[in-house]
Structure formats: structure tokens, C-alpha cells
Amino acid sequence: MRKHAILALEDGSYFIGYSFGASGETQGELIFNTSMTGYQEILTDPSYKGQIVVMTYTQIGNYGITEEDIESKGIQVNGFVVKEAFFKYSNWRAKKSLDEYLKEYGVVGIYGIDTRALVKKIREKGTMKGVISTIEEDPAKLVEKAKRIPDISHQNLVDKVSTREVYHWDEGDYDLIKGFLKRNNDKPVIAVIDFGVKFNILRRLVSEGARVVVIPPKDAERILEDINPDAIFLSNGPGDPQRVIEGIRLVRKYKEKKPIMGICLGCQIIGLALGGKTYKLKFGHHGANHPVKDLRTGKIEITAQNHNFAIDPESLPQDVEITHVNLLDNTVEGIRHKELPIFALQYHPENSPGPHDSYYLFKEFVKLAKGGK
């Protein structure tokens, strides 16, 4: 027998559906993702910490869960909302169902609601806070709980997802027969500051020939002095970039000493460190189908995105140029310092399962780390 669940929003509205995954109650900021595939990568992306993800594509879970298609050590989202949840799956690599996976990590999900109406509400009103519950039957009480949820800008989410220890990463591309290919790269050494890094970022750097060392942001300056890397990479991560003071300070210290690249949160941190400002988007960019224009070449790339904040283009100083823009809303998607070897992308060029239009950017960065221009 199916168990009911309720999703209540801070605006007073609520949806009644069915429970899947863990029983209980969860809360967070509601955002929607427009990807048709990649739900496992979405669930395990640390940038979603603090958020409940709504999938716009209707059928979720039909290819199950595999051991290879993860982006961190476990599920990171606070909750999961879908139209139609599949409890049976068809995939020769799959080891378990989506329902089993959510239960394993204690993540509450709801299905069988009108996700089109929910997404339309978020698009019109902007990101909202919400509660999913399988234990509280009074929607009004859940609405009141949703109203009391702290804003995501007031939470230290990076600290919840970043590594506590330094570690080396030697895993590169995936082979269907051999699995992930190990590479014993020597040079260049790239220090990845982990604000919530996705595994595929590390794999792309290794595949391009880099020796990757992942370090925690809390003690990054001391560790960088010890290992003296050839370049510094700032990862993606959750929350408001203005709260990541250690990252902003680090870029300002090393901007004239080392090549630096950033993705997503790392891009925003670089923008702030170089003198720009950031702001929160109405409902964020979350999906695998955003067209981005490279202003240097005129080339259009289809990109994957997952961010709630963006760089204010009017705030950037004259020595920083905008290299990429989003063709859906003209927001900043890439910046580069005109004199220093520093560049950053707001979107995710490493995205798995795709698209892969922007893989070349990792090659560019590894070349910079080797001393190229």
C-alpha cells in the first residue's frame, strides 16, 4: 500500500502525493532541474546541499542506480520531488533502485504530484523554502515550518560538504571493461580547493595529465605553502559565495603567483576576489541544456548548470573580461583576467552524463599549469 506524503511551501500552498525513499520529514530550498537524465549525478552533487530538487522530466528512476555514476560519497540533496517514480529499473550496470538508494541515505522523497504546476510556481515567484513530510498530516503546520527555514545565504553549507583531509586523486576516464583508468601523473601538480567538488572534475584534470591533490578550504593557505603546486583550482559547492571568505582571501593572495581556475562557486569566488559582486538569481540555473556563447569565438556550447548565484557584470573591474554569457538570460557564464593566468566558468564543463561541449577548458588549464599561455 502506498504511503502519502505532503510537500508544503512557505507561500501557503501544498501538494499531496506519495512517499518514496525514506520516511520522515525534511526541509530546504526548492529548486527545479530540467535534465532528462543524470538523476544520480544530481542527487550526489554537493552543490545541492540544503536544497530540495524537483525534476521537470516526468519519469525518474527507470535506469536505477549504478556504482560508477556518482559525484561524491553519497546523496547530498535534502529531498527529492518527481512526477513518476520508477521502482523497477532496466540497466545492466544498475545495482539497486532509486527508492532503495534514497532509503540508504535517509533522503525523503515525494512523487505523484503535479510537478508542472510546482515548477511554474517557482518560476513565477522565485525560489521558495519547503518541507516534505510523511509523518505530519496537517498541511498548515508544515507551511509554518517552511516559513521558519533559514535562508540558504545564512548557512555555512560549504563546511558540510568539503573534505577534512588532504588526499590525492588518480582516477581518470571510464572504460566499460576496465572501469576507471588509474593514471600516475607526475606534473603539473594542481591543488583542488574542495568547496564541494564533483568527482568528474577531478577525473577530467587527471585525464588531461595533471597530478591532483585535493585540500580542505579551512587550512588551504598553509597546505599550499607546503605542497607548492603548479596551479590552483577552485571547485563548485553550495550556498552563497560571499560566505566563503577563505576562498576569496586565497585568490587574492595567489592571483599573481599561480594559474587559477574556478567552476561554479569557484567562479563566483574568483569574481568576488577580483573586485566584482554577486547576486542571487530568481530561481537559479539547474539543467543540462543551457546554451552559452563564447564571446571570444562566437561558438555556442550546450552546457550543464547548477547555481543559484551569479556575478554582476557591471561590478567587474576593467582588468577582468567576460568570456561567456548565457543566451537564455544573458547572465555571466565565464570570466578571465586580462593579464594574469586566471579564468573561471559558471557552468559545469565536466558534466556527466553530459553535454561534453566544454571539455577543452580543462586542457587549457593544464596547459597553463605546465607554463603555457
Find out whether the peptide bond into 46 is cis, omega within 30 degrees of 0.
no
Our answer to whether residue 348 is catalytic in this structure is yes
The amino acid sitting at 65 is I
Structural Rg of the chain based on CA atoms? 20
Least Cα distance to 83 among 100, 102, 60 occurs for 60
The CA distance from 247 to 219, in Å, is 10
Q: Which long-range contacts (CB under 8 A, 24 or more apart) does 281-285 make?
A: 281/307, 281/308, 281/309, 281/310, 281/331, 282/126, 282/127, 283/31, 283/32, 283/122, 283/123, 283/126, 283/127, 284/31, 284/127, 284/308, 285/326, 285/331, 285/347
Cβ atoms of residues 189 and 223 within 8 Å: no
* pLDDT at site 373: 59
Grid coordinates of 153:
545565504
* pLDDT at site 1: 72
The CA distance from 51 to 32, in Å, is 10
The amino acid sitting at 34 is T
* pLDDT at site 266: 98
pTM, two decimal places: 0.96
Q: Which of 264, 307, 324, 337 is catalytic?
A: 264
Our answer to whether residue 356 is catalytic in this structure is no
Grid coordinates of 167:
588526499
* pLDDT at site 155: 92
**What structural domains and CATH numbers belong to the chain?**
4-149 (3.50.30.20), 158-369 (3.40.50.880)
The CA distance from 86 to 2, in Å, is 13
Cβ atoms of residues 214 and 169 within 8 Å: yes
Number of Cβ within a 10 Å radius of residue 2: 10
pLDDT, averaged in runs of 10, over the chain (373 residues): 94 98 98 97 98 97 96 97 97 96 98 98 97 98 98 93 97 91 95 98 98 96 95 98 97 97 98 98 96 97 97 98 98 98 97 90 96 70
Cβ atoms of residues 130 and 7 within 8 Å: yes
Strands 278-294 and 300-311: antiparallel
Q: Which of 286, 290, 307, 348 is catalytic?
A: 348
* pLDDT at site 354: 86
* pLDDT at site 350: 95
* pLDDT at site 242: 97
